[in-house]
Structure 1
């Protein structure tokens, strides 16, 4: 899974582009965990991060005081997770387990989690519907699920703006949303497809967000060199994230929901 650096409460990100890519999801996730903790009547939640890789979300979640289990197929990623958690001083709250979303219940119990993160996973699995069902089955009643997946519209727009018009049309018409044989992403989703997967798995969808609506289209030099540009772009991303009109051009789509009782 790709490495990410959530912006946590006033911290200055070491990589501005990373902050642009994750800030919206992190703020939504942090609020959702806070609400779940109130409902559960505890300050410490059991959180599962499936496909969590090196812990770029898991470690900040652990810093909030929660227990996090990361399931990932890569031993190298899990080794990096262990090192990252130790450096952050949260090693006792982060556990790494080798596995994947399809074999999830070989390594974790059903119905044992207050929240599940499924970020950057559905694009790569053979059966996205089964992946979402497993994520939901890992939740306790009223538990929260955070889904993050590649958006179709953002890929079409990016190929068109780069002058690759045939590839843009290919992505638009391809059932998996791929622009060609060289496309590194096996599958992309529309907001409607992602919410249908969530609802079909027994999730009550509470919010849909467009992620990286503008940041992937803005030249890096513009953000890195102009004073205040990063903060202004972060604020623009946050303002557009919940507006349905921008979901269709987002690079990623984020769905937040709650397991039905």
Structure 2
């Protein structure tokens, strides 16, 4: 079964991220931010962020992905604002500057690392101590359970629901999934303040692409539905992905709040 386009599936994250970067730029009183995209791959977010005028460093373990990123940035006319380096979350500071970034994107990383808490701590350590924004995007447990159940794989749905990592079986390509509480706990445990939590792909992974293609205005209506449901906890719990936006707490005369 085909799915709705990728733009619909990432629209909620992009709108939140764009607003957060605008806000961070105003706080920093600078038009250009330094952004770190860990696991940024081929530049799904890095290139649009660079189009906003920011400088983006992409860290990814795949040389093929980084080659595609370079080509994509060149085609978009932002090659001078995108830099790709080979590395991973665990050895982040072998290739990235500690405390050197206004914003860090940690999208599709925590599912694959051995220690998600360490992955978040490294992302936070890359932020400027005077203020920074963290964007975390990870696979949601509820969406996987619902998806397997609706496909008629009830035993696999129960396995995902009850297993420690949220996997539905040995052939599950996703190493780990999170509940909203688990993901926000990782972020707050690193010392950041959560600004917002959004459910991503609540409906987009369940709606047949043919339905969206044939019904007039269906794509726009689906996008509005996703946006309306994204902030509601009831729908976050069954989203395919979870997005957490967080910030470094402000420092007062008495110390961090």
Partner SS for 1:139: coil
Deviation at 1:247, TM superposition (A): 0.8
The reply on whether 1:99 has 2:91 as its aligned counterpart is no
**Partner in structure 1 of residue 102 of structure 2:** 114
Residue among 187, 190, 200 paired with 2:189: 200
Q: Distance in 2 between matches of 1:155 and 1:108?
A: 33
The reply on whether 1:35 has 2:23 as its aligned counterpart is yes
**Partner in structure 1 of residue 172 of structure 2:** 183
Q: Show CA shifts across 1:120-157 (max 9, x none).
A: 01000000000000000000132000000000000000
* Greater relative CO, 1 or 2 (CA 8 Å, sep 6+): 2
Q: Distance in 1 between matches of 2:213 and 2:21?
A: 32
Partner SS for 1:30: helix
Residue among 114, 131, 138 paired with 1:126: 114
Correspondence 1:219-230 to 2 at 5 A: 219-230=208-219
Structure 2: gaps (5+ residues): 252-257
Please list every run of at least 4 consecutive aligned residues from structure 1 whose deviation after the TM superposition is greater than 4 angstroms: none
Partner SS for 2:5: helix
Correspondence 1:1-261 to 2 at 5 A: 16-140=4-128, 141-260=130-249, 261=251
Please, what is the CA RMSD of the aligned residues? 0.9
| TM-score, reference length from structure 2 | 0.95
Q: Show CA shifts across 1:141-177 (max 9, x none).
A: 3200000000000000000000000000000000000
Deviation at 1:20, TM superposition (A): 1.6
Q: Show CA shifts across 1:103-132 (max 9, x none).
A: 000111111000000000100000000000
Q: Distance in 1 between matches of 2:69 and 2:186?
A: 29
Q: Using a 3 Å threshold, how does the CA distance of structure 1 residues 162 and 16 change in structure 2: closer, same or farther?
A: closer
The 8 Å contact of residues 38 and 107 in structure 2, kept in 1 or not, is answered as: yes
Q: Distance in 2 between matches of 1:80 and 1:122?
A: 22
Partner SS for 1:181: coil
Deviation at 1:203, TM superposition (A): 1.0
